[in-house]
Amino acid sequence: MNSGEIFRMYKDAESGIFRVFSGDKVLFLQETGEETFSFSCSPDEFEKYWSRFFDLETDYAGLYKKALRSGPYIADCAASSYGVRVLNQDLFEMMISFIISQQKRIPEIRKCIEALCARFGEKKCLNGFEYHAFPDAKAIAAAGPDGVKGLSLGYRERYIYETAVKYVADDFIKSPAFRALSFDEAKAYLKQYCGIGEKVANCICLFALGYKDAFPIDVHIKDILHREFNVGDDNYRTLSDAVFTKAAADRFADFAGAKGIIQQWIFAHEIK
DNA sequence: TACCAGGTTTGCA
DNA sequence: TGCAAACATGGT
């Protein structure tokens, strides 16, 4: 919830109930015991959506044990990130959310996303609880290039509008064929959208498309790869993304296929 | 005040 | 192909 992979999940301070928003859905979660939770959805909706959303088919326990044996730093990250899963979120929501994320801190990202939802998201109601869905691409596109003004998006306004317009017209990205692409193919396809570069494309692949080997390189990860894994000298921040990507592949070769989960545990640990 | 943020685009070698 | 500057806005 606080590890920068989902921006619309909140804990109600009074009741302790978690509210999880995804696309046009909302889910209420309550901890009922030691690692047990009640879900507000029907068993059918759980099977059809939330089970995959929470990535319940992936073996995190095995990865966790492996991480604990992988040197003190990774072990620390795994231990302090116990319970952090890499979710399978809505594609368009991740595209827009991570376009917004560039050059912003997490609290500001949340604010921008909520503002976007308030303006363009369909108003919905579940059990008396009113909320705004994440906007449909059509709603953003229909409002025109000036429709996204006044939301503190800055230069990202153009990226968001153009991405919404392109997405509306893009039948391929909504087809099963897109989901069948390889990781590299999907990433390259996403980068054709304005505002989606290497890092954001990796985030989308990891958080929406299930490519658990995606390894987004951002300023935090650069700092960590330098500090903990001896990548680069004092000018390491000027090194290209490719250098960090290769370094990560080398350092985390043991986790091939699931590097993105390790990345997320590292990230969650560092921003705590 | 100066610097920086889960970067990307643009323009120029 | 690769590099540096420009890009809005808000927080520290």
pLDDT (tens digit, 9 = 90+) per residue, A31-83? 999 989 999 999 999 999 999 999 999 999 999 999 999 999 999 999 999 99
Strand C proximity: list residues 141-160 of A with CB under 7 Å: 152-155
Contacts of A223 (CB under 8 A, 6+ apart): A237
As a rounded value in angstroms, the CA-to-C1' distance for A103 and B3 is 13
Confidence at residue A39, expressed as pLDDT on a 0 to 100 scale: 97
pLDDT higher than threshold 90 for residue A269: yes
Confidence at residue A234, expressed as pLDDT on a 0 to 100 scale: 86
As a rounded value in angstroms, the CA-to-C1' distance for A144 and B11 is 28
Whether pTM exceeds 0.85: yes
| Mean residue pLDDT across chain A | 96
pLDDT higher than threshold 90 for residue A267: yes
